[in-house]
């Protein structure tokens, strides 16, 4: 004799029934998530309230709101960075290439954590070496601190024997077209995965 | 003996004396990352192989006001730079100085480093018997966008 699983659930004691319902809900939630799978860490629930108000290489103050409708890939770094920063910007250039026609809907922003050494002009030249469409941003040390804090980014500039020793969060963020910080983009993330996340958040926002 | 021939032999002897310490070490694929105008520092990378145990203890270059040995570490998504006093190279071993790990930093650059150019790097080593010697290598400047 065979019985339908549903019939088992109906006949089962309360505890078992609750467990089955919970399993069903998890399955439904899993399906919902599968519609727009993100490869990076989804940080939407952290409700990170980012802010900019930093200057580009033309001295213009740039704000998050002006990029509405576009996805933003945002990173922090410094031009004296020997590996993490060039590698990150190189990967972002690959993401943009990967996006093809969708590239017009993404903006890469790069913020210096070392404004005492990185001038506005230098930050611009540096990011443009990777892609002329990238925007390099610089603030005063106080502004930089405030922006990093808003984005929950850590950095430190120490001086040792006259040279600057910088540490900073190597991850960045993918922000959707409505200004919501959606994905933490880890340093190790592959460009094609990042590109697919960009498409996913653009489709959803 | 012909004077010119004698001069050659003397030069050869000097060359031999200079290379006995260095012969134990080979520096493979030294390169420096190019910079954009105004950029004050950059990284230098290479593989050091040695027959005898030695240690890289200092680095300098005429293109930079200062040079140092750094180690990059990544802890919980945060990248940090730590100065390193020396890089031991084991006998018959190799140490890779590469992006994302141990590397050399050239700071206070005196001139723009353009891809395709070559930069002299003077590397000072200290052997197990405390004797010190140096070797100068020509590091190729690779594009800023060069991947590791």
Closest partner residue to B103 (CB to CB) among A82, A117, A161 is A82
At B16, give phi and psi (nearest 5°): -65, -45
List the single residue in A84, A93, A122 with the smallest CB-CB distance to B79: A84
Q: How confident is the model at residue A36 (pLDDT cuts 50, 70, 90)?
A: low
Find, among A149, A80, A137, the residue nearest to A107 by Cα.
A137
Contact A98, A192 (CB under 8 A): yes
CA separation for the pair A161, A81 (Å, rounded): 18
Q: How far apart are CA A121 and CA A112, in angstroms?
A: 12
Q: Is the pLDDT of residue A191 over 60?
A: yes
User: What is the value of ipTM here, to two decimals?
Assistant: 0.77
- Each of the 148 residues of chain B gets a pLDDT tens digit; together they read 555 555 555 444 444 444 556 668 999 999 999 999 889 999 999 999 999 999 999 999 999 999 999 999 998 889 998 899 999 999 999 999 998 899 999 999 999 999 999 999 999 999 989 999 999 999 999 999 887 6
| Residues of chain B with C-beta less than 8 angstroms from the C-beta of A87 | 99-100, 147-148
Q: Tokens for A147, please give them.
A: 């922006």
Asked if B83 has any chain A CB less than 8 Å from its own CB, the reply is yes
User: What confidence tier does A21 reach under pLDDT thresholds 50, 70, 90?
Assistant: low
Closest by Cβ to A79, choosing from B39, B74, B146? B39
Q: Do A122 and B36 touch (CB under 8 A)?
A: yes
Inform me whether the C-beta atom of residue B20 falls under 8 Å from chain A C-beta atoms: no
Mean pLDDT score of chain A: 86
Closest chain A residue to B75, measured at CA? A169
**Quick one: pLDDT at residue A164?**
77
Please tell me the distance from the alpha carbon of residue A175 to that of residue A181, in angstroms, as a whole number: 4
For position A83, what pLDDT does the model report?
86
Cβ contact, residue pair B144, A86, below 8 Å = yes
Percentage of chain A with pLDDT > 90?
Answer: 70
- Number of Cβ within 10 Å of residue B130's Cβ equals 6
CB contact under 8 A, A82 and B70: yes
DSSP notation for A150-182: HTT--EEEEEETTEEEEEEE--EEEE-TTS-EE
pLDDT in tens, A41-73: 999 999 999 899 999 999 999 999 999 999 999
């Amino acid at each position: 004799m065979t019985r339908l699983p549903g019939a088992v659930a109906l006949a089962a004691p309360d505890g078992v029934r609750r467990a089955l319902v919970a399993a069903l809900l998890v399955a439904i939630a899993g399906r919902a998530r599968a519609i727009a799978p993100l490869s990076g860490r989804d940080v939407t629930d952290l409700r990170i309230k980012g802010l900019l108000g930093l200057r580009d290489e033309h001295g213009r103050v740039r704000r998050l709101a002006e990029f509405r409708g576009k996805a933003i890939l945002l990173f922090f770094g410094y031009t004296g960075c020997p590996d993490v920063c060039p590698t990150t910007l190189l990967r972002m250039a690959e993401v943009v290439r990967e996006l093809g026609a969708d590239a017009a809907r993404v903006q890469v922003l790069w913020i210096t954590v070392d404004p005492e050494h990185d001038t506005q002009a230098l930050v611009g030249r540096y990011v443009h070496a990777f892609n002329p469409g990238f925007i390099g941003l610089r603030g005063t040390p106080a502004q930089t601190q405030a922006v990093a804090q808003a984005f929950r980014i850590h950095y430190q500039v120490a001086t040792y024997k006259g040279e600057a020793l910088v540490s900073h969060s190597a991850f960045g963020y993918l922000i959707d077209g409505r200004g919501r910080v959606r994905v933490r983009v880890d340093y190790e993330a592959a460009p094609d995965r990042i590109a697919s996340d960009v498409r996913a958040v653009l489709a959803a926002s | 003996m012909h004077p010119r021939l004698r001069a050659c032999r003397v030069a050869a002897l000097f060359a031999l004396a200079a290379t006995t310490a260095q012969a134990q070490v080979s520096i493979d694929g030294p390169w420096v990352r190019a910079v954009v105008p105004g950029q004050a520092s950059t990284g230098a990378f290479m593989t050091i192989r040695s027959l005898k145990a030695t240690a890289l203890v200092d680095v300098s270059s005429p293109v930079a006001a200062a040079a140092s040995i750094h180690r990059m570490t990544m802890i919980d998504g945060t990248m940090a730079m730590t100065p390193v006093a020396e890089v031991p190279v084991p006998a018959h071993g190799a140490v890779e100085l590469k992006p994302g790990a141990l590397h050399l930093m050239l700071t206070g650059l005196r001139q723009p480093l353009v891809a395709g150019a070559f930069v002299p790097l003077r590397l000072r080593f200290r052997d197990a018997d405390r004797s010190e010697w140096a070797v100068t290598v020509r590091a190729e400047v690779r594009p800023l966008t060069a991947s590791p």
